[in-house]
Each structure stands twice: as C-alpha cells, then as structure tokens.
Amino acid sequence: MLWFKSKANKLSVSALVVTSLALSACGFSPLYGQNAAQPYVINTLAGISVQPIEDRVGQMMRNQLQSGLTPKGAKRTAPQYDLTVTLSESISVLAVDQASFATRANLYLDGNYLLVRISDHLEVISGSAKTVSSYNVLSSDYATLQAQANARELAVKDLSHILQSRLAVHFKTTAPKIQKSDKPYGQGSGNINYGYPN
C-alpha cells in the first residue's frame, strides 16, 4: 500500500511509468525508456477500451485510465482490448482524541481488473490492486467531507497509475522481439541498415 501524502504530488498522467522505477530493482527497466518496445507498448495501450465503471468513483477512475492509457502526443487507435474494472471503497478510523472522537481516517480503494482481447475474447491479464489515502476528521462536517473527497480523488489517481503500470509491464515483457541484422551497416542491399529488419 502507498502513503498518498508522500506520493500524490509525484505522480502525473503523462508519466504512468514513473511507478515502474520501483520495479527496476526487480529487473524491470523504465517502461517508456528509449528501447525497441516503446512504440509497441504505447500503441497497444492506446488500443485499450475502458468499460464503464459503476458509481461516481468509477467514473473518476475511468476518466483517469482513459487519459493515462493515451499519453500526450499518442494517437488513440481502434480498440483491440476491453478493460473491465470493479472498485470497492472502505473507511476506517486511524486515530482518536482523548474524548474518543475520531481525528484521522484511512480511505481504502480496492480494484479488480480484467483485460480481454476483443478479437478472440482471450483473457490477457487480470488481478487486483489496492491503495490507501489518509485524511483528517474535523469538527466541521463539511470540512470533513471535503477532506474525504480529496482523499478519494488521490486514491483514484494512484490506483489508476498502478493499473496502468501493470498493463504497461505486461505489454513490455510480451512485445515482439526485433531481430537485428547480422550484416554490417550499409551492406547487402545498397541501403543503410539501422539494425532493423527491412
């Protein structure tokens, strides 16, 4: 689980793979680094159709996913995959004062996801993820509701980034391998060979 106060301001929609930096210690390189898989991953993510998600929180999540799966400058392609997400939210008291009034609470957001290839209905990847965001319980009900709403927004953004990162990792690791030519550059066909198949 992630602590939002330290993470929220560091995440951005156009850099969904910032989360993947934490995976580098496990053998993963940055998802959108300069490598041969980059165009494949970007184009594949842009071909994911996010299905409607229930409730207001679901609408927020769907908007975040749609924006994140098509980063700035990327062109949305015809849908090749359907992404289904279900969410559940819960709140627990984190701290109380001497008068037994709650002063701090945690908002938990859990998500289950399923990615299906449209052409043959093949289940590509599925799983679950969760995150937590803390907020202050104030003497004013309105202020508390506003703090809770802000925590919910942060939770949606963070969970969206987690899901996007998992999808990107999957497609990066399954990207077609580009075979480099054994011929020296510029030899063989009279054309310059950049190491990619003609």
pLDDT in tens, the chain (198 residues): 444 333 333 333 334 433 443 343 343 344 445 455 578 888 899 999 999 999 999 999 999 999 999 866 566 678 999 999 999 999 998 877 656 677 889 999 999 999 999 999 999 999 999 999 999 998 899 999 999 999 999 999 999 999 999 999 999 988 787 665 555 545 544 444 444 444
- Select the CATH number that applies to the domain covering 4-173 from these four: 3.40.50.10420, 3.40.50.300, 3.40.1190.20, 3.30.160.150: 3.30.160.150
pLDDT at residue 52, as a whole number: 96
pLDDT at residue 17, as a whole number: 38
Check: pTM over 0.75? Answer yes or no: no
What is the C-alpha separation between 198 and 180, in angstroms, rounded? 10
What is the C-alpha separation between 168 and 42, in angstroms, rounded? 8
User: Are residues 40 and 176 in contact, defined by beta-carbon separation less than 8 angstroms?
Assistant: yes
> Where are the chain's structural domains?
4-173
CA distances from 132 to 62, 137, 158 (A): 19, 16, 9
Q: Which of 75, 148, 63, 67 is nearest to 108 (CA)?
A: 148
What is the C-alpha separation between 74 and 49, in angstroms, rounded? 15
**Strand (E) or helix (H) holding 87:** strand 81-96
Q: What DSSP assignment string belongs to 151-166? A: HHHHHHHHHHHHHHHH
